Amino acid sequence: MQMLENYVLGSWVTGDGQGQELYNAVTGESIATASTKGLDYNLITNYAREVGNKNLRKLTFHERGRMIKALAFHLQNHLPKFYDISYKTGATKADSWVDIEGGIGNLFANASLRRKFPDENFCIDGDSHNLSKGNSFMGVHLLVPKEGVAIHINAFNFPVWGMLEKIAVNLLAGMPAIVKPATVTSYLTEAVVKEIIASGILPDGALQLLCGSAGDLLQHTTMQDVITFTGSATTGQMLKSNPHILANNIPFTMEADSLNCMVLGDDVTPDMPEWDIFIKEVRKEMTTKAGQKCTAVRRIFVPENKIEDVQIALGKALAQTTIGNPLNASVRMGSLAGKEQVKEVKAQLQRLLASSQIIYGSLDSVELIDADATIGSFISPILMLNENPFASNDVHEIEAFGPASTLMPYKNMYDAIELSKMGKGSLCSSIITASAKNAKQYVIGAGTHHGRILVLNNDCAKESTGHGSPLPLLVHGGPGRAGGGEEMGGIRGVKHYMQRVAVQGSPSMLTAITNVYQQYAKGNHDGIHPFRKYFEELNIGDQLITAKRLITAEDINKFADLSGDQFYAHKTFTNFEGTMFERQVAHGYFIMSAAAGLFVDGSDLGPVLLNYGIDELRFTKPVYVGAEIYIRFTCKEKLPQDTKDENDIPKGIVKWLVEMIDETEELVGVATILTMVKRK
């Protein structure tokens, strides 16, 4: 029988012994066995740190991002192979799309984040802070990649997405990964990793795979490592409380299955589009991946005067869900991941039935297409009704991890909010409402107990990604039972794998360390106008001190006429008594325009292609008639850009610090302007 391989220490190897036997969830046929017995986890973790980490730390964010992008394109070329294997997990084509292409989409999304980072292997975190009156002492926070390995322990429901959404982030941050998928569906993860390794895109040691037991892996972790876990709250708590992890303060991010809820607003009636949106969303969230999703809806809260109508509508909707072999095009819901999952779901449902009743579906029978219920891991969608949700703890504490959910009534929005909180923390919640008042009340009231809230109505339903879809640029996680952690979240997710360090020193020293110009640092004056230099020729700190310009009443009046900005403070004969100003004051935008006139060198064509925008523009002091201003213009930061095709002009974005200074040597304005500059 085929034995799944583990990818460790740069080689594909099998574990010792017979291992755990894995089965086709639809046909019951044996697929392979999986074992990690005999693997040396001390060598594996050290290899990740000594080889993988050092290789990734050499790369900049931009290089890592392009690497991840290339990997995403490569995996797209092998989609048919992945889909063929995914069917064996019981997933329909739609389920597989979420898992496989959703995972690859995470790679693309995180690859694009490279533009938010410098072309360095570290980055500045937040604003710089001036710590002295004389501007000679300051502080800044840096983020540097940790020197360890990210260990990802994933659940069975998303063998591809669960891996890719995590490694995309740690790779961008500069850390290698050891992935340990749930054994029952690890054969799909193995197939994807084989293609990743075969591509040669990742450096040595960047990714290792364990198909089988994690053994004593966590005992070999250090304070530089990061552990993430996706799965049941019970297992997560057990791992998180490992004495070795606690003693060494090893970061542990948990994303646990939770009792997510969906609320039908009390403003929604059966004749409104939001009614149909609600019914479709509940059905989708109960049946996608056969309900085996950490974000699936488990609790459904409906106004008590609409409970019967919702019960009827949901019953009709669920009856349209065809179940069976996912290779049959007419099937809309496949099987659970395995027989053990069926057994576990039924056991939990029996516990829930102590306080609830089944109003749709059956524990004992299910009508299938092209499948045998005695062989495959199938179960009917189960909709239950609990008429006293405030008096029933079980429905807020017990999760049946399958196509099962419980319908419950509420009296008003205050009750709906309190019921949502009784789940003790969830990954996500949704409210379907056309009322902005209801939406705001729910979001603010329930926000403390949910990691993400979807407000769904007719305006956004067509393009909404839905209740159960975590997105790469938004945090995925939740408080309490949901694990207390967060994943993804764009730049926020990357920071989980980096160490924040506060650095103090002089502006010039911190400029040299960060390669970003810090205000009041010494400038470079080489006699060449910065706009005469190509992108590669510019150095951080290259500086121009301009000539001075006298600000006159004629300037201000002309700018007012040209712009149409006739604000009272810019008029010559305004009575300024009781205002903030002493006399006629120049427009801030005129001062910025005059600044451009002082620092721009446009005598002939040069490397500067265009003005890309202005950030952080502030006017700090009024400029009156008779003032003289000059500009301190400094190269602050350089961001390379990828060429789109062979016809694209090689270029980069340059950020410039523009300091507008008057005759008293005080700042009257400051801004960061961006220009697009040609490469040689």
CATH number for the domain that contains residue 635: 3.10.129.10
Looking at the 3D structure of the chain, how many domains does it have?
A: 3
Report which secondary-structure segment, H or E, holds 23: strand 20-23
In terms of domains, do 162 and 272 share one?
no
Q: Is 86 helix (H, G, I), strand (E, B) or coil?
A: helix
Q: Are 5 and 13 spatial neighbours (Cβ–Cβ below 8 Å)?
A: yes
Q: Specify whether 460 is catalytic.
A: no
At 269 the pLDDT is 94
Q: What are the CA-CA distances from residue 479 to residues 63, 115, 288, 419, 446 (Å)? A: 34, 30, 24, 16, 12
Residue 347 in any domain: the answer is yes
Residue 328 in any domain: the answer is yes
Residue 486 in any domain: the answer is no
CA distance 405 to 396: 11
Q: Are 627 and 551 spatial neighbours (Cβ–Cβ below 8 Å)?
A: yes
In terms of domains, do 137 and 180 share one?
yes
In terms of domains, do 344 and 426 share one?
yes
Residue 509 in any domain: the answer is no
- Going 125 to 128 to 132 to 137, the CA torsion angle's sign is positive
In terms of domains, do 366 and 404 share one?
yes
At 571 the pLDDT is 87
Q: Are 322 and 307 spatial neighbours (Cβ–Cβ below 8 Å)?
A: no
Q: Are 274 and 431 spatial neighbours (Cβ–Cβ below 8 Å)?
A: no
Dihedral angle computed from the Cα positions of residues 485, 487, 493 and 499, in that order, rounded to the nearest 10 degrees: 40
Q: Are 400 and 352 spatial neighbours (Cβ–Cβ below 8 Å)?
A: yes
Of 123, 211, 294, 428, the catalytic one is 294
CA distance 146 to 164: 20
Amino acid letter, residue 42: N
Residue 588 in any domain: the answer is yes
At 138 the pLDDT is 93
In terms of domains, do 544 and 451 share one?
no
Q: Are 94 and 466 spatial neighbours (Cβ–Cβ below 8 Å)?
A: no
In terms of domains, do 528 and 423 share one?
no
CA distance 420 to 422: 6
Residue 577 in any domain: the answer is yes
Q: Are 570 and 556 spatial neighbours (Cβ–Cβ below 8 Å)?
A: yes
In terms of domains, do 45 and 107 share one?
yes
Of 165, 190, 255, 486, the catalytic one is 255
Q: Are 532 and 601 spatial neighbours (Cβ–Cβ below 8 Å)?
A: yes
Instruction: With 0.85 as the threshold, say if the pTM is over it.
Output: yes
In terms of domains, do 244 and 322 share one?
no
Of 175, 208, 198, 197, whose CA–CA distance to 58 is shortest? 175
Residue 66 in any domain: the answer is yes
In terms of domains, do 163 and 293 share one?
no
At 654 the pLDDT is 94
CATH number for the domain that contains residue 294: 3.40.309.10
Q: What DSSP assignment string belongs to 613-672?
A: EEEEEEE-S--BTT-EEEEEEEEEEEEE---SSTTSPPEEEEEEEEEEEETTS-EEEEEE
Residue 94 in any domain: the answer is yes
Report which secondary-structure segment, H or E, holds 316: helix 307-319
CA distance 498 to 171: 11
List alpha helices for 77-153, DSSP H.
Answer: 79-86, 93-96, 102-112
Q: Are 395 and 419 spatial neighbours (Cβ–Cβ below 8 Å)?
A: no
In terms of domains, do 195 and 293 share one?
no
In terms of domains, do 131 and 221 share one?
yes
- Going 665 to 668 to 672 to 677, the CA torsion angle's sign is negative
List, as own/partner pairs, every contact residues 349-354 make where C-beta atoms lie below 8 angstroms and the sequence separation is at least 24, other chains included.
349/382, 349/400, 349/404, 351/394, 351/398, 352/384, 352/394, 352/395, 352/398, 352/400, 352/404, 352/406, 353/384, 354/394
Could you give the angle at which helices 161-173 and 102-112 cross, rounded to 10 degrees?
A: 10
Of 549, 638, 546, 622, whose CA–CA distance to 581 is shortest? 622
CATH number for the domain that contains residue 169: 3.40.605.10
Averaged pLDDT, groups of 10, the chain, 680 residues long: 91 88 90 92 96 95 95 96 93 91 92 90 91 92 94 86 92 96 92 96 96 90 92 83 90 87 95 95 93 91 95 93 93 90 92 94 91 91 95 92 95 95 93 95 95 93 87 85 80 90 95 93 91 92 94 92 90 85 90 91 81 90 93 93 86 94 94 92
Tokens of 116: 């938010």
Q: Specify whether 665 is catalytic.
A: no
In terms of domains, do 201 and 217 share one?
yes
Range(s) of the domain holding residue 573: 523-678
